[in-house]
Amino acid sequence: MLSNTHPYDALMEITARPKTVFVQGKGSWLWDDDGKRYLDFIQGWAVTSLGHAPPAVAQALAEQANRLITPSPAYYNDVALKLAKALVDQSCFDQVFFANSGAEANEGAIKLARKYGSLHKGGAFEIITFEGGFHGRTLATMSASGKKAFEPLFEPKVPGFPKARLNDIGSVEALISDKTVAVMLEPIQGEAGVWPATDAFLKELRALTQQYGLLLIVDEIQTGMGRTGKLFAYEHAEITPDIMTLGKGIGGGVPLAALLATEQASCFEHGDQGGTFNGNPLMCAAGLAVLGEIGKPSFLKSVTDAGLYLESELQRISARHGLGEVRGRGLLLALDLKLPIAMSIVAQAFEAGLLLNAPRPDSLRFMPALNVTRAEIDEMIGPLDAILTKAGVARRVA
C-alpha cells in the first residue's frame, strides 16, 4: 500500500497537475480551496461551453435528477428522444447514438464505418486519418490519432488507419485502395495546436470521398456545438458529411457525447452497439439545456463577435511582442509564440490567476466559455501582455 502523505496520492498520476484544488466555479471564473480566483480560458478543454455552473444546465440536471435518472438504454426515455430530434433537425444527419465520452463516440464512428464496409464495400475497413489528428485515448482512437507521442505506446495498435496530411488532397487520394471505407478528420485539429482544415480542402475531400464511394467522418468533439460560431464547423465549408461525432461542449460539463449519421450511413444492427449509461436522461437533459442556450437568437453571432474580438486582441499583442500567427476560428484560437516558451507562460499565468493551455511548446490555445464577455477577454489579455513583456525581457537578457 502507498503511504498516503496527501489526498493527491490516492489518485493515479496521469499528468503533471498544479497542487491546487478547485472547489467552485461561476461563468468564466474558478475558485480554489484557498479562495484564490482564476479566470478560465480553458473551461475543462472546451467542455463547460456555457461557463462554470451555468443556471440552465444546473436547473435541468436538478429537475431531471428528481424525475428520472435512467430507465436503462434498453428502453426509450423522453429526454434522449427530444435531444436526438433536436440534433437531427439542426444538422444534416438523420440518426443519433449517445455516448459518454468523445473517444467512445469516435469508437462508435469507427465501428459504424467498418460495418458499412462489411455491408456495402466488400469488407473494406481502412479509415484514412491525418497526421497530427486526435480522436481519443481508447486503443482504436489512439490508433486513429496521428499524434507522435502515441506512436510507441500500447503496441500493437489497431490496424487500418493510414495517415494523410491535412490540407493535402493528393496525400489522401494516394492512400485510397479497395480496403478504404472512410476518411475521418477534425475540421480544426485542436490538440495538435489549432490547425484548421481549409474550407477548400473540406470541399475537395467531400468531392473525393463521393467519387470513391467513401464515408466522410467529421470529429466535431472540439469544434461542434457553437465553438466556431456555427453550430457545427462543417457548415463553414458548406459540405454534408456522412458521420459526425460530438462531445466536450455538448453536455456543458457533464459526460455526454454523440455519434450522428445520415440515413444511408446509419447501418448498425442489433447487438453491434450499446452501453450501460448511453442516452441516460440525466446527461441528455444537460445536452438539451446547452442546445437551448446555443439556439437562442444571436447566440452564435455573439460567439463569432467574441471570437473576432479575441482574435484581434491576440493579433495586437502578437505584433507588440514580435510573435507569430493567430490560428483558428470562433472561440477556438491559438497564438504562435515562435519560441518554446508556452509552458513557462502557462505556469506564470497560473500564478497570476489565469488558466491558459499550451497544446504545443510554442503555442497557446484559447477556448473560453462561449458566453465570455469582452471585459473578460480584456482581463485575460492584460496579464498575458504583462507576462509576455517579462518573457521578452528575459529573452533579451539571455
Ligand X SMILES: *Cc1c(COP(=O)(O)O)cnc(C)c1O
Q: How far is the CB of 219 from ligand X (least distance, A)?
A: 5
Q: How far is the CB of 106 from ligand X (least distance, A)?
A: 6
The beta-carbon contacts of 348-352 under 8 Å, at least 24 apart in sequence, are 348/387, 348/390, 348/391, 349/383, 349/384, 349/387, 350/18, 350/20, 350/38, 352/383, 352/386, 352/387
Q: Is 266 in the site for ligand X (CB under 6 A)?
A: no
Whichever of 40 and 186 has its CB closer to ligand X, that residue is 186
Contact 331, 305 (CB under 8 A): no
Report the site for ligand X in 69-108 (rule: CB under 6 A): 101-103, 106
Contact 257, 101 (CB under 8 A): yes
Report the site for ligand X in 267-286 (rule: CB under 6 A): none
- The residue number whose beta carbon is nearest to ligand X equals 102
Whichever of 205 and 388 has its CB closer to ligand X, that residue is 205
Whichever of 101 and 180 has its CB closer to ligand X, that residue is 101
Q: Is 186 in the site for ligand X (CB under 6 A)?
A: yes
Name which position in 51, 187, 229, 247 contacts ligand X (CB under 6 A).
Answer: 247
The dihedral through the CA atoms of 241, 97, 250, 84 has a sign that is positive
x/- mask, ligand X, residues 200-239, rule CB under 6 A, reads: -------------------x-xx-----------------
Q: Which of these ranges, 160-168, 174-182, 185-193, 291-299, lies near ligand X under the rule CB under 6 A?
A: 185-193
Query: d(Cα 276, Cα 254) in Å, to the nearest integer?
Result: 16
What H or E segment, with its residue span, contains residue 86?
helix 78-89
Residue with grid cell 446555443, as numbered in its chain = 294
Q: How far is the CB of 247 from ligand X (least distance, A)?
A: 5
Q: How many chain residues interact with ligand X (CB under 6 A)? A: 15
The dihedral through the CA atoms of 275, 277, 279, 283 has a sign that is negative
Query: Phi/psi class of residue 214: alpha, beta or left (left: φ > 0; alpha: ψ in -120 to 50)?
Result: beta
Q: How far is the CB of 221 from ligand X (least distance, A)?
A: 4
Q: Is 180 in the site for ligand X (CB under 6 A)?
A: no
Contact 211, 247 (CB under 8 A): no
Name which position in 115, 135, 329, 365 contacts ligand X (CB under 6 A).
Answer: 135
Q: Cα 345 from chain centroid?
A: 23
Query: d(Cα 357, Cα 41) in Å, to the nearest integer?
Result: 8
Q: How far is the CB of 222 from ligand X (least distance, A)?
A: 3
**Cα dihedral 233/284/296/30 (nearest 10):** -80
Q: Which of these ranges, 54-62, 186-194, 201-209, 272-280, lies near ligand X under the rule CB under 6 A?
A: 186-194
Q: How far apart are the first and last CA of the chain?
A: 46
Q: Is 190 in the site for ligand X (CB under 6 A)?
A: yes
Cell numbers placing 112: 459504424
Q: How far is the CB of 139 from ligand X (least distance, A)?
A: 13
Name which position in 44, 136, 226, 279 contacts ligand X (CB under 6 A).
Answer: 136
Query: d(Cα 280, Cα 289) in Å, to the nearest integer?
Result: 15
Q: Which of these ranges, 152-160, 184-192, 262-270, 377-385, lies near ligand X under the rule CB under 6 A?
A: 184-192
Whichever of 221 and 342 has its CB closer to ligand X, that residue is 221
Q: Is 134 in the site for ligand X (CB under 6 A)?
A: yes
Whichever of 27 and 146 has its CB closer to ligand X, that residue is 146
Q: How far is the CB of 4 from ligand X (least distance, A)?
A: 28
In the chain, which ranges are E strands? 22-26, 29-32, 37-40, 95-99, 126-130, 163-164, 180-185, 188-189, 195-196, 215-219, 243-246, 257-261, 326-329, 332-336, 354-355, 357-360, 363-366
Q: How far is the CB of 244 from ligand X (least distance, A)?
A: 11
**What residue ranges bind ligand X (CB under 6 A)?**
101-103, 106, 134-136, 186, 190-191, 219, 221-222, 247-248
